[in-house]
Amino acid sequence: MGNRLGSLLMLAGLGTTSLVGCGTPDATDAAATAESQSESAPNTTDLDATAQNESKTPEPAQEPLPELPAGEAEDGGYTIAQVMQLAHDNKLYRRLFDQPADPEVIERMKLLYAELPKRQPPKGDPEQWQERSTALVEAVVAIEAGNEQGIAMLKRAANCSSCHGRHRES
């Protein structure tokens, strides 16, 4: 009868704490039943962690960055078109969203984005161009520093259509 009471309490979700230590035979049986059930039952936390580890596939290794071509601007730096091609056309900037960001990608993006404020936009307000292009540099610096706002800053600053509408010639 003692095992049955312990089992009923366990099924009801009441456990056996109310009986343990009271000295009745049912309390001893209930405590022993609870103890044997907890030892034989698998730890679901351990199972969940194991399942998560097994379901994760290893991240593919990123290809090394190709060597940068020579800058075509008069001062030897990169033109706006080159920066857009090297940073955005191949989606290099999106690799900054992976955390932690690859230090080589950070350095490459800082180098490329630092060229933009030096250039004159084909159209639109030059001051606005300075603000927008400087925001790209600041976002990469924030990511490099581990600032949790860095990625949001980059997503906001790298809004292609907004910038192209104001500064890109058709």
At 15-62, the pLDDT tens digits run: 444 444 444 444 444 444 444 554 555 454 554 554 455 445 445 566
**Cα 59 to Cα 95: distance, rounded to the nearest angstrom:** 13
Q: How many helices (H) and strands (E) does the chain have?
A: 8, 0
**Cα 144 to Cα 157: distance, rounded to the nearest angstrom:** 16
Residue 7 has pLDDT above 80, yes or no: no
* CA dist 60 → 15, 55, 57 (Å): 48, 15, 9
Write down the pLDDT at residue 33.
Answer: 47
* Other Cβ atoms within 10 Å of 14 Cβ, number: 11
Write down the pLDDT at residue 65.
Answer: 84
Write down the pLDDT at residue 61.
Answer: 61
Return the SS3 of 75.
Answer: coil
Q: Is the pTM of this model over 0.95?
A: no
Write down the pLDDT at residue 52.
Answer: 52
Average pLDDT of the residues of the chain: 77
